[in-house]
């Protein structure tokens, strides 16, 4: 039996990187003190800024980003694996001044083990009048990423990616036993869809779904749904924060549950080719 104690960090990330690190650091220390060996933070852990000009004033490369670099040091000091759910960083693509919305997996020596740039960007008009055009400021990534960890493979996704089941299915078929879904969900879609989407992706893949979330009313008035959640491979919520306050959520993953779910319903081996009627 391979078990893994994890923790999800729920944050209300401030706009300045220094304040963002000061906000998340004690929560990560609490998670490590509580025995977590893998700790995951939400989308936009390094700063949460909507205004493009204000964002560009602090935007830098991952190598120069003070939050990313301090979190690498913290992972090493605490001897834990840390998924920075995302950092908003310069994409590294010449001729495209949009940022990357990037998950960065840090190992227990503080080294970068994997990075993933969010594939699906959030361009929506909600019935409440909320309007998002993430593609205006974020360059979507080019591919899916699966990271090796000491406990098995982790499939990386970010927030709006949760609505694309084919990505999760592909990650599971490629061996992912855990899928990370760091998020900054809106309140109306959180209320209507968050838990159902997370549970559906876990059920469809027979993988653990780990979803640390931004929570509450941020400095610029933006509101996020919170409700960080861990879903087991059979679809049950094994841990969640039923609120939108910053905090730490502990859970223990038992990877026998992955095999149990996939043996009971071997759907990952049952895909059919099909043609659509023209
Ligand atoms: O911009 C940042 O600082 C951090 N990124 C986000 O907040 C992103 C893009 S705007 N939010 C989502 O993807 C929400 C998805 C969602 O709510 C849904 O799928 O319904």
**pLDDT over 80 (residue 76):** yes
pLDDT tens for residues 12-24? 999 999 999 999 9
**Contact 244 CB / ligand 1 (< 6 Å):** no
Mean pLDDT of the chain: 97
The three-point CA angle 15-110-31 to 5° equals 65
As for the ipTM of the complex, it is: 0.95
CB 225 within 8 A of CB 194: yes
Q: Which residues are catalytic?
A: 43, 118, 159
Distance separating alpha carbons of residues 52 and 187, to the nearest angstrom = 22
Residue 189 phi, psi dihedral angles, 5° rounding = -80, -25
Q: In what order do the strands lie in the sheet with 152-156?
A: 145-149, 152-156, 176-180, 208-211, 229-231, 237-240
226 CB-near residues (< 8 Å, 6+ apart): 10, 190, 213, 214, 215, 216, 241, 243, 244, 245
Q: Which tokens hold the place of 249?
A: 């959520």
| Highest CATH level, class, for 3-264 | alpha beta
Average pLDDT, integer, range 239-265: 98
Q: Is the CB of 48 under 6 A from ligand 1?
A: yes
Determine the pLDDT at residue 2: 85
Is the overall model pTM greater than 0.90, yes or no? yes
pLDDT digits (tens, 9 = 90+) for 197-243: 999 999 999 999 999 999 999 998 999 999 999 999 999 999 999 99
For 90, the 3-state DSSP assignment is strand
Q: Is the CB of 222 under 6 A from ligand 1?
A: no
Instruction: Give the residue whose CA is nearest to atom 7 of ligand 1.
Output: 184
pLDDT computed for residue 1 by the predictor: 63
Tell how far the Cα of 183 is from the centroid of ligand 1, in angstroms: 7
Atom of ligand 1 nearest to the CA of 137: 1
Distance 132 CA to ligand 1 centre (A): 8
> 52-74: per-residue pLDDT in tens?
999 999 999 999 999 999 999 99
Confidence class of residue 37 from pLDDT cuts 50, 70 and 90? very high
In angstroms, what CA-CA distances link 245 with 46, 215, 225, 248?
18, 6, 10, 10
pLDDT digits (tens, 9 = 90+) for 78-99: 999 999 999 999 999 999 999 9
Task: State whether the beta carbon of 43 lies less than 6 angstroms from ligand 1.
Answer: yes
């Amino acid at each position: 039996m391979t078990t893994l104690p994890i923790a999800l960090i729920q944050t209300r990330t401030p706009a300045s990187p220094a304040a963002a690190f000061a906000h998340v650091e004690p929560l990560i220390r609490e998670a490590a003190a509580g025995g977590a060996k893998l700790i995951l933070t939400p989308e936009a852990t390094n700063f949460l800024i909507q205004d493009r000009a204000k964002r560009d004033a602090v935007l830098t490369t991952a190598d120069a980003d003070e939050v990313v670099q301090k979190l690498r040091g913290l992972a090493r000091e605490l001897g834990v694996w840390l998924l920075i759910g995302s950092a908003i960083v310069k994409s590294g693509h010449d001729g495209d001044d949009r940022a990357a919305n990037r998950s960065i997996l840090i190992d227990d020596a503080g080294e970068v083990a994997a990075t993933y740039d969010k594939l699906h960007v959030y361009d929506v008009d909600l019935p409440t009048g909320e309007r998002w055009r993430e593609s205006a400021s974020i360059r979507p990534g080019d591919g899916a990423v699966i990271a090796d960890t000491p406990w098995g493979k982790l499939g990386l996704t970010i927030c709006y990616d949760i609505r694309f089941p084919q990505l999760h299915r592909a990650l599971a078929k490629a061996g992912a036993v855990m899928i990370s879904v760091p998020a900054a969900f809106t309140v109306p879609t959180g209320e209507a869809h968050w838990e159902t989407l997370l549970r559906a992706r876990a059920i469809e893949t027979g993988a653990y779904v780990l979803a640390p979330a931004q929570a509450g009313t941020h400095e610029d008035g933006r509101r996020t749904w919170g409700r960080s959640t861990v879903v087991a491979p059979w679809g049950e919520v094994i841990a969640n924060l039923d609120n939108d306050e910053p905090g730490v959520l502990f859970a223990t993953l038992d990877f026998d549950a992955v095999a149990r779910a996939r043996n009971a319903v071997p759907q990952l081996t049952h895909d059919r080719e099909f043609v659509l009627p023209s």
